[in-house]
Structure 1
């Protein structure tokens, strides 16, 4: 019914759940990751119930937050409600997006997330074990961490240093995931050593037409973006891009907000 509704109503903005599966010989256990991006402090219901209930229903083993959970123009209430609902329920990992850097209070933003038990990554990787499955999880700050320009697309060497540092800590024996807000940096992501990279930022291209695979416009990609939302093969690295959760900015057309689930599965 949900699928039928948003296929008929171009402005449907109810939350949908989009599932992908990744297979790897490095995996010995089945895991489910939830990917949350681009909330921009949107509030669903009175206290993020639609998002939290969807998570409870699908029971992820970890939650990945790939940037722009907070916003530079919207009060943090929506972000805080989400963090409160996630606290203690799942291992959570977060990297910054451009809008969080535009707040110009990044130490406070990161402290807000760590205060709810979220692991904040910015040029680091960690080794962890979830349900008996070893993982390497890394993350890089949004490139706007290193520029004062709202629209600069030139990558600072410090972002590259963060990225290559994370790549150097991958392992041929351990499944690895990188959180990076920007989907378009595929020149770097391809064959990076990471098995999976998760991103957001493109908001699904904002406007999508039935039967068409891509969106109309995305930041830093322009018209008809290639990486607006979906699952992409970049050599030995997979990229999954969420269309995001924001409904408090530009209208979304045939492009409902989504919670992404990634099932990580061994190869039989």
Structure 2
């Protein structure tokens, strides 16, 4: 067999493999909605567990009925508190879709901050931009009706944590929830919420994009837990390597899941439940919601050791 023939077959095989991978990423994995379960030891010794449902990055359009049904079904998890860290919208008519998807979850204690894709619609972009370190250009699409979404959330009793310090009762605990506007758009103003409040059982910080400058602020103020989204977990991950990029200032190892930030604060980054309509692919990074079970910290000197256990399971 000639060398030319071998090269031709190799090229054809590579193209076929690439096409199969793209078909899987676009047609299967991006719809494989998954529940990630995480246990985090952040409560006072002896405290009963508290369940938080962490949602992020729906990027909903009005026709995504299967995703909407999957989100609604999460109510059966019976969370004590629901947190939404933004990028809910991907279409100017999607507010009713978001509210409908959340459905009974809106009747539970909840809090939210918004992301860039609540304020501006998606636009076609060159995916290679995300691989260029230091490329901070922002390309905005059409304005989205984020005020309507905020009104819908607040009408159901959810608190807007954007640049505010809110106290919420959840699971029999008094929880301080503070947040910033989206650091990805440089809208964060942490000094507006800076400070320490000892008269609560738990302190939770919210940010859409997990930028280190914001995480440092929460850690310095003694927050127990910070919740974020934005990264999509990298969206495309390589087995044995992980996320290729994070699209923000944190390192690749923190692109999804739980980690420490400083000596006291735990960070949880959601890989989110959607993608931009212009890049509808995921690989080795299924869309997810997270059920965080907060448990008591160890009482011994082991409190600063180890990492929280993770377990993911497909749902629907």
Fold match by TM threshold 0.5: yes
Are the structure 2 counterparts of residues 71 and 36 from structure 1 closer, same or farther at C-alpha, using a change threshold of 3 Å? same
Deviations 1:112-165 (A, max 9, x none): 321333221211122233232221112222136xxxxxxx6xx46xx33xx233
- Per the alignment, residue 293 of structure 2 pairs with 263
Partner SS state of residue 220, structure 2: coil
**Structure 2 length-normalised TM:** 0.68
Query: How far did 1:206 drift?
Result: 1.1
- Per the alignment, residue 4 of structure 1 pairs with none
Partner SS state of residue 39, structure 1: coil
**Aligned partners of 2:245, 2:233: CA distance in 1, in Å?**
8
Are the structure 2 counterparts of residues 172 and 209 from structure 1 closer, same or farther at C-alpha, using a change threshold of 3 Å? farther
Q: Judging by fraction of residues, say which structure has more helix.
A: 2
**Aligned partners of 1:217, 1:74: CA distance in 2, in Å?**
30
Partner SS state of residue 238, structure 2: coil
**Aligned partners of 2:109, 2:66: CA distance in 1, in Å?**
24
Residue pairs, 1:28-43, within 5 angstroms: 28-42=47-61
Query: How far did 1:107 drift?
Result: 3.1
Residue pairs, 1:14-163, within 5 angstroms: 14-26=32-44, 28-42=47-61, 45-46=65-66, 48-56=68-76, 58-71=77-90, 75-88=94-107, 90-102=108-120, 103=143, 105-143=145-183, 155=186, 159-160=188-189, 163=190
Structure 1: give runs of 5+ residues left out of the alignment.
1-8, 145-151
Deviations 1:222-243 (A, max 9, x none): 9x73431111111111110000
**Aligned partners of 1:187, 1:138: CA distance in 2, in Å?**
14
Mark the structure with the bigger radius of gyration. Answer: 2
Deviations 1:20-63 (A, max 9, x none): 1121353622110000000011565457222222331x221110
- Per the alignment, residue 229 of structure 1 pairs with 256
- Per the alignment, residue 266 of structure 2 pairs with 238
Partner SS state of residue 259, structure 2: strand
Are the structure 2 counterparts of residues 47 and 184 from structure 1 closer, same or farther at C-alpha, using a change threshold of 3 Å? closer
Alignment coverage as a number of residue pairs: 243
Structure 2: give runs of 5+ residues left out of the alignment.
1-23, 121-142, 299-316
Query: How far did 1:221 drift?
Result: 4.3
Partner SS state of residue 71, structure 2: helix
Query: How far did 1:217 drift?
Result: 2.5
- Per the alignment, residue 149 of structure 1 pairs with none
The CA RMSD over aligned residues, in Å, is 2.7
**Aligned partners of 1:76, 1:104: CA distance in 2, in Å?**
9
**Structure 1 length-normalised TM:** 0.79
**Aligned partners of 1:38, 1:105: CA distance in 2, in Å?**
16
